[in-house]
Amino acid sequence: MIRWSSALNGFVELFYPRLCVGCGRKLFHDERFLCVECLSSLPLAQVHESADNFVEQHLYGRPYIESATTLMMYEKESAPQKIIHEIKYHGAKELAKSMGSMLGRELRNGRFASVDMIVPVPLHPKRLKWRGYNQSEWIAMGLSRELGVPVRTDLVERVVETSTQTTKNAEERWSNVKGIFSLKQTVQPRDLEGRHLLIVDDVITTGSTLMACAAAFSHVNNVKISAASLAAVN
């Protein structure tokens, strides 16, 4: 059975070869999503244990998020941009989970080791129906696998559908997302008291979406909120 499966996979790859998300070359059998060269040259941010890092600086002036980090530096035409694009628009859910696992392995110790729950930034139901999945949830699944804490999609919801953030400046982004998230009606704030929540998104540009999501927990006493993403703009 294994031989037949291997032969079938080889036949399929003959006509539909697996290509590296970063550079587009054909992957070897032991490579997944990224070739060895692209994987080893990813611009890792390595700021997890650095307080006041550039990700946290995006969040200045908003009291909800205490610490924040990212896996990679985001630039146009870079491998991280291609990875995010593949995850967000081409249905690469397993790639999202794999990258989430990579981030999780870096967060096992230190400031983020005390996380109790992972909260992916939710999509509006209309956007979720159109896309078919929430990329942040799949990233969170990879994180969960490494950190050993649950993904909670039952805590917060997106109650307002907004226009794209792509062409907006920092002030416009915050105005666009302010008040768009809320705790679900079934959530009892007292059940979250004293917990450490890690809010997860795919990309951090100004941090406005993360801050708006964190604001949904503003009425919960003694809750600690951190944030993480696969990539962030410096």
Task: Centre a 10 Å sphere on the Cβ of residue 201 and count the other Cβ atoms it contains.
Answer: 23
- Whole-number pLDDT of residue 173: 56
User: In whole numbers, what is the pLDDT of the chain averaged over residues?
Assistant: 88
Domains of the chain as residue ranges with CATH: 1-41 (no CATH), 42-232 (3.40.50.2020)
Instruction: Tell me how far apart the alpha carbons of residues 65 and 75 are, in angstroms, rounded to a whole number.
Output: 24
Identity at 17, one-letter amino acid code: P
3-state secondary structure of 49: coil
Considering the entire predicted model, what is its pTM? 0.87
Q: Does pLDDT of 12 surpass 60?
A: no
- Whole-number pLDDT of residue 153: 97
Q: What is the pLDDT of residues 82-135, one digit of tens each?
A: 999 999 999 899 999 999 999 999 999 899 999 999 999 999 999 999 999 999
Half-sphere exposure (CA, 13 Å, Cβ side) for 157?
11
Residue pair 227/201 in contact by the 8 Å Cβ criterion = yes
Identity at 2, one-letter amino acid code: I
Q: What is the pLDDT of residues 170-187, one digit of tens each?
A: 556 555 667 799 999 999
Q: What is the pLDDT of residues 137-172, one digit of tens each?
A: 999 999 999 999 999 999 999 998 775 545 555 556
Strand 156-158 to 181-183 pairing: antiparallel
